[in-house]
């Protein structure tokens, strides 16, 4: 290995002239891994189930660095800002956007499930359902409350927040730390410099971990098909198809309209984050793509301070796919068990979900726990009905996670534009290239963008050969 100094040229031109073979791209590798995982799980189910640790291990590796990456990104973004009022403005606009769009998602799910009625005619007797399989979810759901959720945002200890990997707790401490560091002025600059360098190391680790993404996607998909079988896709298929179509329409129509109103295309944005979407498809967790999303959304033209606040917060407050799922699943259970729901019951359900849906973190299975909490809070719906969708929930989680990821990408660009922290020329340029510059550049280039420009980055581009 040796270092060769390259001439100062635009990043995109360098990338386009050294385009790597398709088999070396993460996009292609993850697709192949998912296909092989499906085949292994279908033809050799026992082997597929035994591959579960591959998917679990990959997600654990990602979770290992999420907390420090969020901390570094948020602190660096806030401490480096000139005007502290802009932080509050960004947070306020973000929460406003989250509430409006997630409410639309809840309403769409409610309308579609009432029109299509996928559970009608099943005539399930609640007393015949096996409630033992959902006991853990019900217990976890009953433990959730509004006050408990708010208090849980405040960590008992700083170390505890990072040790548990609680995104909202880490985010809260990071915001406070960033404000405190900003108030120190030049005295706190050595600390800020250290955090920037620490972020460099963390993003380098992420680049190393992402090379294992195909293996993680392969193991997770092989387990899913091996454990539940392709036949389970047919059972209760009407609800699944209805949910997938609704999510697709939500992205194309609702998010598409929001994007058009702000001067960009949702389909170009989807193309831009296609690798992250494939990783999410393989792992069923939008959290697995969080570190890369922080890098790519900043490279898309949104300022670091906006990305650092909107993306992590959106993982609890802007889960559009989960919102659609919650209303559809709740009403489906009512339809399948012949539980009558008049307009009052449905409005009550909607109001409860406006609060409970905000507690769904972007991890696999969290939507099911929130659904259990919602059914317990509403009271009118049979909690035992969760057993009906337990078998297919794992397959529906893919659509939830994909929609959540696209929703948070759109939210970041929109909020950045609202607060005047978006480089629109850079946005259009990156979307037009489809992220090709990112796919072909070395890890250090992404690190430079994630941390902000440095004199070295400004003078030349170093390529490792």
Write down the domain spans for the chain. Answer: 20-451
Residue partners of 164: CB distance under 8 A and separation at least 6: none
Reading phi first (left if > 0) and then psi (alpha if -120 to 50, else beta), residue 379 is in left
356: number of Cβ within 10 Å: 25
Tell whether the model's pLDDT for residue 177 goes beyond 70.
Answer: yes
Average pLDDT over residues 255-281: 92
Smallest CA-to-CA distance from 333 within 393, 383, 395 is with: 383
230: number of Cβ within 10 Å: 11
Tell whether the model's pLDDT for residue 193 goes beyond 50.
Answer: yes
Tell whether the model's pLDDT for residue 271 goes beyond 70.
Answer: yes
Reading phi first (left if > 0) and then psi (alpha if -120 to 50, else beta), residue 236 is in left
Q: What are the distances in angstroms from CA 35 to CA 170, 391, 443?
A: 36, 21, 27
What is the spatial distance between Cα 245 and Cα 321, in angstroms, rounded to a whole number?
A: 12
Q: What are the distances in angstroms from CA 354 to CA 253, 297, 409?
A: 22, 27, 21
Select the highest-mean-pLDDT range: 13-17, 21-25, 54-58, 111-115.
111-115
Tell whether the model's pLDDT for residue 184 goes beyond 90.
Answer: no
Give residue 64's pLDDT band: very low, low, confident or very high (50, 70, 90): confident
Q: Locate 3 and state its tokens.
A: 């270092």
Tell whether the model's pLDDT for residue 441 goes beyond 80.
Answer: no
Residue 51, helix vs strand vs coil: coil
Smallest CA-to-CA distance from 102 within 294, 270, 326, 306 is with: 326
**Topology classification of domain 20-451:** 1.10.3860
What is the spatial distance between Cα 450 and Cα 17, in angstroms, rounded to a whole number?
A: 24
Compare 206 and 269 and report the one with higher pLDDT.
269
Select the highest-mean-pLDDT range: 132-141, 149-158, 405-414.
405-414
The model's pLDDT over 417-440, given as tens digits with 9 standing for 90+, comes to 999 999 999 999 999 887 665 544
Residue 224: what pLDDT? 74
What is the spatial distance between Cα 14 and Cα 261, in angstroms, rounded to a whole number?
A: 33
Select the highest-mean-pLDDT range: 33-37, 257-261, 373-377.
257-261
The vertex-440 CA angle with 437 and 443, nearest 5°, equals 100
Residue 50: what pLDDT? 92
Sign of CA dihedral 421, 426, 428, 433: negative
Tell whether the model's pLDDT for residue 361 goes beyond 70.
Answer: no
What is the spatial distance between Cα 270 and Cα 417, in angstroms, rounded to a whole number?
A: 18
Residue 426: what pLDDT? 92
What is the spatial distance between Cα 307 and Cα 305, in angstroms, rounded to a whole number?
A: 6
Residue 7, helix vs strand vs coil: coil
Select the highest-mean-pLDDT range: 92-96, 115-119, 169-173, 209-213.
92-96
Residue 302: what pLDDT? 92
Residue 463: what pLDDT? 34
Tell whether the model's pLDDT for residue 225 goes beyond 60.
Answer: yes
Write phi, then psi, for 124 (nearest 5 degrees): -80, 130
DSSP secondary structure letter of residue 422: B
What is the spatial distance between Cα 348 and Cα 325, in angstroms, rounded to a whole number?
A: 17
Tell whether the model's pLDDT for residue 66 goes beyond 70.
Answer: yes
Rounded to a whole number of angstroms, the distance between the first and last alpha carbons of the chain is: 6
- Could you tell me how many residues make up the chain? 465
Average pLDDT over residues 364-390: 71
Q: Locate 181 and state its tokens.
A: 């560091």
């Amino acid at each position: 290995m040796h270092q060769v100094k390259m001439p100062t040229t635009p990043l995109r031109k360098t990338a386009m002239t050294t385009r790597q073979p398709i088999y070396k791209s993460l996009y292609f590798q993850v697709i192949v891994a998912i296909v092989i995982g499906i085949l292994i799980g279908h033809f050799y189910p026992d082997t597929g189930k035994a591959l579960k640790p591959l998917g679990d291990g990959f997600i654990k590796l990602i979770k290992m660095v999420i907390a420090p990456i969020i901390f570094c990104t948020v602190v660096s973004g806030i401490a480096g800002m000139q005007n502290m009022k802009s932080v509050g403005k960004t947070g306020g606009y973000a929460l406003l956007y989250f509430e409006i769009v997630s409410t639309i998602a809840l309403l769409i799910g409610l309308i579609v499930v009432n029109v299509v009625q996928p559970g009608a005619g099943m005539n399930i007797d609640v007393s015949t359902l096996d409630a033992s399989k959902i006991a853990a979810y019900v217990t976890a759901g009953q433990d959730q409350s509004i006050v408990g959720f708010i208090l849980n945002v405040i960590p008992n200890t700083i170390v505890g927040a990072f040790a548990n990997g609680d995104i909202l707790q880490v985010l809260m401490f990071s915001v406070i730390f960033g404000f405190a560091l900003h108030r120190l002025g030049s005295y706190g600059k050595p600390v800020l410099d250290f955090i920037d360098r620490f972020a460099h190391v963390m993003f380098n680790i992420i680049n190393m971990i992402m090379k294992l993404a195909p293996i993680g996607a392969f193991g997770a998909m092989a387990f899913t098909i091996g454990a539940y079988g392709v036949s389970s896709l047919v059972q209760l298929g009407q609800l699944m198809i209805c949910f997938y179509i609704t999510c697709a329409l939500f992205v194309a129509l609702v998010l598409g309209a929001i994007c058009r109103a702000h001067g960009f295309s949702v389909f170009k944005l989807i193309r831009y984050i296609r690798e992250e979407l494939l990783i999410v498809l393989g792992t069923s967790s939008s959290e697995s793509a969080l570190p890369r999303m922080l890098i790519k959304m900043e490279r898309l033209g949104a300022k670091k301070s906006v990305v650092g606040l909107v993306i992590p917060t959106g993982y609890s407050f802007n889960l559009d796919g989960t919102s659609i799922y919650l209303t559809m699943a709740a009403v489906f259970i009512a339809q399948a068990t012949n539980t009558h729901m008049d307009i009052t019951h449905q409005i009550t359900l909607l109001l409860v979900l406006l609060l409970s849906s905000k507690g769904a973190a972007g991890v696999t299975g969290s939507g099911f726990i929130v659904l259990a909490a919602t059914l317990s809070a509403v009271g009118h719906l049979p909690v035992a009905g969760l057993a009906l969708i337990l078998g297919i929930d794992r397959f529906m989680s893919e659509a939830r996670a994909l929609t959540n990821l696209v929703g948070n990408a759109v939210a970041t660009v929109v909020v950045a534009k609202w607060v005047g922290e978006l480089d629109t020329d850079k946005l259009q340029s990156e979307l037009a290239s489809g992220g090709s510059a990112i796919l072909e550049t070395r890890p250090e280039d992404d690190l430079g963008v994630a941390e902000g420009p440095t004199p070295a980055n400004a003078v030349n581009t170093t390529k490792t050969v």
